[in-house]
Amino acid sequence: MPLVSTKEMFDVAYREGFAVGAFNMSSLDAVQAITDVAAEEDSPVILQACPVARRYYTMPYVMHLIAAALETHDIVVALNLDHGIDIDNIRDCVDTGYTSVMFDGSALPLEENIRITREIVEYAHPRGVAVEAELGRVGGEEAGLDVSLKEASFTDPAEAAEFVERSGCDSLAVAIGTAHGAYKFAGEPRLDFDRLLEIKKRVDGVPLVLHGASSVAREDVDLCNRFGADLPGAQGVPEEMITRASKMGICKVNINTDLTLAFTAYIRRHFSERPRDLEPRDFCAEGREAMREIVRRKIRVLGSAGKAALVRDRLA
Ligand code: 13P
């Protein structure tokens, strides 16, 4: 099956009360781990690349890696641009095979965010590409975007209704307390579920997106630290909160840190135990296996196992 749009995935996810994992593709090993497990679990998945990753790998490699995965497995996959900011870059993604693009106008005043999102919707929709927008500011650090926890601001439910109506976006990323990276909370983890419920009511039927949703497993942080990393006090979103959000209109859950944390933890251990090893196949295999386990766990937490069949039915 070719790449699919996020639209049909979200229709099914919204109706059935589960979320689709959107995994950042940071290497060939990541793409293999994500798509192999998606096939084993018959789960829809979203692969995503941010502009920095796109520049690093270059488009032909991104597209051919995905083509190889689709040739290998019968899987339901969408490709999303994560945190697009530059309009020309976003148009380029629409023109070169992405099935979803995110415009991150969260740093802009409301009117400007609406205006540019609308412009992108008008370009993307006739070409069959879905548009994700963001309102409110998710904090944390990722791929060159750095929003201090102080600068972060929660999504206003009334504004969300106006935003969705006027921009025409297909899905909306909301800020309810998550943050990008390995440091998400200054104290106890807390998400504003009342706000999420109110947003869901106001934008009835529009799929919502949760960024900064890694759980930052204690075992992986400890493993990293034991083998030379310096990640004191790293903390993520507890898995039960992610499951709860997935039943409340959140249809897409973004995961990057959990993959990179597991990958590096196991590679660190590998080098510490085998300091003479020079073979990338050996150490990458350990990192890839660790990422496979993360993807499997997320699919269970999000409730998307076995749901690819429903998306196929919806597409038929
Ligand atoms: P994490 O840093 O929590 O994995 O979030 C990733 C993300 O939201 C990508 O846009």
**For a substitution probing ligand 1, which of 257, 258, 259, 260 has the most ligand atoms within 8 Å of its CB?**
257
How far, in Å, from the CA of 212 to the mean position of ligand 1? 4
Return the pLDDT at 139.
79
**pLDDT category, 245, cuts 50, 70, 90?**
very high
How far, in Å, from the CA of 20 to the mean position of ligand 1? 14
Average pLDDT of span 214-233: 96
Return the pLDDT at 149.
63
C-beta atoms surrounding 149 within 10 Å: 12
257 Cβ inside 6 Å of ligand 1 = yes
- Could you report the per-residue pLDDT of 120-139, keeping only the tens digit for each? 999 999 999 999 999 998 87
Return the pLDDT at 188.
93
- Residue 152: is its pLDDT beyond 90? no
Indicate which residues carry an active-site annotation.
82
132 Cβ inside 6 Å of ligand 1 = no
Contact 182, 261 (CB under 8 A): yes
Helix, strand and coil percent figures for the chain, each rounded to 5: 50, 15, 35
Contact 22, 316 (CB under 8 A): no
How far, in Å, from the CA of 280 to the mean position of ligand 1? 26
82 Cβ inside 6 Å of ligand 1 = yes
Average pLDDT of span 185-206: 95
Return the pLDDT at 12.
97
294 Cβ inside 6 Å of ligand 1 = no
pTM of the prediction? 0.96
How far, in Å, from the CA of 276 to the mean position of ligand 1? 34
Ligand 1 atom closest to 259 (CA): 4
254 Cβ inside 6 Å of ligand 1 = yes
**pLDDT category, 142, cuts 50, 70, 90?**
low
Return the pLDDT at 146.
67
Return the pLDDT at 151.
65
Ligand 1 atom closest to 255 (CA): 4
SS3 label, residue 22 = strand
- Could you report the per-residue pLDDT of 104-121, keeping only the tens digit for each? 999 999 999 999 999 999
304 Cβ inside 6 Å of ligand 1 = no
DSSP 104-149: --TTS-HHHHHHHHHHHHHHHGGGT-EEEEEESB-EEEETTEEE-T
* Residue 115: exposure state from Cβ atoms within 10 A (0-12, 13-18, ≥19): middle
- Residue 148: is its pLDDT beyond 70? no
Return the pLDDT at 97.
95
Average pLDDT, the chain: 95
- Residue 141: is its pLDDT beyond 90? no
Average pLDDT of span 90-106: 97
48 Cβ inside 6 Å of ligand 1 = no
**For a substitution probing ligand 1, which of 101, 191, 211, 260 has the most ligand atoms within 8 Å of its CB?**
211
- Could you report the per-residue pLDDT of 2-21, keeping only the tens digit for each? 999 999 999 999 999 999 99
